Amino acid sequence: TPTAGVYANPGSGQFISKLTPSLNAIVYATVLGNGTPNTLSNQFSPSAFMVDVCENIYASGWGLTNSYPVSANAVQSTTDGEDFYLIVLGKNAGTLIYATYYGENGEWEHVDGGTSRFDKKGQIYQSVCTIGTAFPVTPGAFSPNNKTGGDYDIAVFKIDFQSVGVTAQAQASPNDTICGGGSVSFVNTSVNAVDYIWNFGDGGPVSSASAPTHAYTSSGTYTATLVAIDSSGCNVADTFFLIITVLPQPLTVATGDTICQGETATLLASGGNTYQWSNGATGSAITVNPTVTTSYTVTVSNSMCMNDTAVMAIVTPSSVAAAYSNVTITQGQSASLSATGGGTYSWSPSSGLSCTDCPDPIASPGQTTFYCVFVTNAAGCSDSACVTVNVEIPPCGDIFVPNVFSPNNDGANELECVLGGCIKELQFIIYNRWGEKVFETTGSPLPSGGPGWACWDGTYKGKLMNTAVFVYYLDVTLTSGEKVSKKGNVSLMR
């Protein structure tokens, strides 16, 4: 008697029962057939039986098989009453999964000496006997016809039975090629699955989400694997693979520039095929003219992927040079010059200056001179300013010899000179207190730009003299022919 909840054909002569491991109790029982008991005119001989990995029940046999139940997807739904019969029940015989006839219409078959086997994957193998010549075969069969001339011949057939299973399938969105650091949204279109296992192929953790999104941090080619599982049945699973290509991001190198006000900055970028700057310019190198420090963004692309980088054009205020107003001195005198606005200074020309790299040189030109100073700040920005030192020449015949000078390298009053205008020729001799001649010059005036007509630097035989009082003798011939003579003392101060 069939137990409650099983599939059964009540009154039939074939039965299936499941016993407990100790064989002392029935778990379930059912009967199969056409609703009539086995008799000589209604007998059926089972030939194979198996339970697969999902606990589905497989049975087959041969006999008088009129009115046996068949499923909608049967290989052969009709019979001549003497065919093979194959049936599959669900777990614990709860449902009819599959049933079919198989054989030649109008001729007998049987399984004497044949072999019937099932495997755990749901495939049916039958080696049987047939007497007819029209046993159903597939195209290209080794022997499509009976070779015994009407006697029983061996026939072999195989049925691969598959119940409604799981189909794993998926897509990558927006596509399966992304840039490094990007994400892939997986679209899961699996059929009949309940649970999912995603392995993204990059060594990261797996996901059980139905449609996960995953970020790939490194470039390369990855195989993403989806396992779709029907855990509501016997954990039937299917696997699907997607190839994900992660392209490298551009290795962007961008270089800014530091300029002075009014200059042009050059900005550079590399690492891609195309470049788009925030000011609308294109190309790996652009020039800009900012008036203040400005940030520029460049988007670097290598076909598909892009990267943004900001660079600075730093504008440094220029130095503002200032040199104080023009001065006027009498020939032989000195004037202090002064400049501001820089970190370094450079005066030009150098003649008549106590120093050329200081902000406050002392100028002692022999004639009117136009001095310019170039100042540079810490950022390298420069400016310039100029000043004129006007030198007034004494009137003709007004010959003057200073009575003190100080050759101590301070830039002021370093030389003892004959001063005056309209001098044609002269003889200027200086003696020490012992009457020894320490300096003499004769002839024409000194070259243009010198501090006077004839000058002594306070040295004798290449050595600087100590503080002392000296005596000078001067004979001058003026351009008018007039002769002028002078003598007096000169003090050298250290």
Helix (H, G, I), strand (E, B) or coil at 91: helix
* Same-domain pairing of 374 and 420: no
In the block, residue with structure tokens 């019979």: 79
Q: Which two tokens stand for residue 213?
A: 């999104």
Residue 357 neighbours by CB distance under 10 Å: 10
CA distance 312 to 294: 6
Query: In angstroms, rounded to a whole number, what is the distance separating the alpha carbons of residues 492 and 406?
Result: 6
The pLDDT score that the predictor gives to residue 399 is: 84
Domain that holds residue 468: 404-492
Q: Do 338 and 382 share a structural domain?
A: yes
Question: Which residues in the chain come in under a pLDDT of 70?
Answer: 40-41, 110, 112-116, 121-122, 130-133, 146-155, 160-165, 232-235, 443-453
Q: How far apart are CA 371 and CA 353, in angstroms?
A: 10
Return the pLDDT at 470.
96
Q: Specify if 6 maps to a domain.
A: no
- Domain count along the chain: 5
Q: In what order do the strands lie in the sheet with 265-270?
A: 253-255, 265-270, 285-288
Quick count: other Cβ atoms within 10 Å of Cβ 406?
17
| Count of helix runs (H) and strand runs (E) in the chain | 0, 40
Residues 105 and 194 in one domain: no
Beta-carbon contacts of residue 77 (< 8 Å; ≥ 6 apart): 70, 100, 101
Separation in Å, CA 141 to CA 84, 311, 407? 20, 76, 127
Euclidean distance between CA atoms 273 and 27, whole angstroms:
73
pLDDT at 137: 78
Q: Do 183 and 270 share a domain, yes or no?
A: no
Q: Is residue 417 part of a domain?
A: yes
Q: Domain boundary at 299, 316, 333, which? A: 316
- Do β-strands 253-255 and 236-247 pair in parallel, antiparallel, or remain unpaired? unpaired
**pLDDT for 448:** 41
Answer yes or no: do 149 and 28 share one domain: yes
The greatest distance separating any two alpha carbons of the chain, rounded to the nearest whole angstrom, comes to: 174
pLDDT in tens, 292-301: 989 999 998 9
Provide the b/e sequence for 112-135 (b: ≥16 CB within 10 Å): eebebebeeebebebebbbbbeeb
110 and 28 belong to one structural domain: yes
User: Which of 334, 368, 392 is the last residue before a domain boundary?
Assistant: 392
Model pTM above 0.75? no
Same domain, 198 and 240: yes
Q: Establish if 1 belongs to a structural domain.
A: no
Say what the pLDDT of residue 23 is.
93
pLDDT in tens, 421-449: 778 888 999 999 999 999 998 866 544 43
Looking at residue 41, what is its pLDDT?
Answer: 66
Cα separation, 49 vs 18, in Å, equals: 13
C-alpha 42/C-alpha 33 separation (Å) is 10
Confidence (pLDDT) at 452: 53
What pLDDT does 330 receive?
79
Whichever domain contains 223, its CATH number is: 2.60.40.10
Residue 471 and residue 449 in contact, taking contact as beta carbons nearer than 8 Å: no
Neighbours of 184 (CB within 10 A): 24
Residue 466, pLDDT score: 93
51 and 152 together in one domain = yes
Same domain, 204 and 242: yes
Task: Write the DSSP string, 385-401.
Answer: EEEEEEEEPPPBT--B-
